[in-house]
Amino acid sequence: MKLRPGSLLPILAVAVTGCATTAPKTVPLEQRFKKADTNADGRVTRAEFTDFMIEDAFLRYDRNHDGLVTEEEYVAGGGTAANFRKINTSGTGKATLAEARASKVIRDTMAVPFDEADVSRNGSVTLEEYQAYIARRDAEVR
């Protein structure tokens, strides 16, 4: 009996592909929480939370990743042209992250998710509160 040299190759290919698909695609919540907690005290304050959420949203709107959000990108991401003009205080038609963070419209919008996450109402969100908030939010989306 002779074993053909190539007979093991398809099995190996399946094994390698199987391993690759188990890699996580999304950033774990703990990592996101640590990123938001800029002074690393284990609690995310309203200011830390707002800055983090605004940066997160900004990066999603910035489709061509040039560090600027145009009116077109903002509207394509679900925003309104009127709000874009309020955010883009420089009037260049391209909003920066600094403009987004300084915008009252955006900060007011971000106050709602913070209040929802801060169940204990003590002005800061723990990792447990954050995880519970994301779980509730995901449940609403589905």
* Total of chain residues touching Ca ion, rule CB under 5 A: 8
CA distances for 113 relative to 40, 49, 117, angstroms:
21, 9, 6
By beta-carbon proximity to Ca ion, the closer residue of 68 and 106 is 68
Q: Which of 62, 71, 118, 129 binds Ca ion (CB under 5 A)?
A: 62
Reference 129, options 20, 7, 36, 63; nearest CA is 36
Query: Is 39 near Ca ion (CB under 5 A)?
Result: yes
Q: Which of 30, 41, 108, 128 binds Ca ion (CB under 5 A)?
A: 41
Q: What radius of gyration do the chain's Cα atoms show?
A: 22
| Contact stretch for Ca ion (CB under 5 A) within 66-74, 81-89, 98-106, 114-122 | 66-74
Task: Identify residue 140 by its one-letter amino acid code.
Answer: E
Q: Which of 9, 31, 60, 66 binds Ca ion (CB under 5 A)?
A: 66
CA distances for 7 relative to 2, 3, 13, 16, 18, angstroms:
11, 7, 11, 16, 19
Query: Is 72 near Ca ion (CB under 5 A)?
Result: no
Which spans of this chain sit near Ca ion (rule: CB under 5 A)? 37, 39, 41, 43, 62, 64, 66, 68
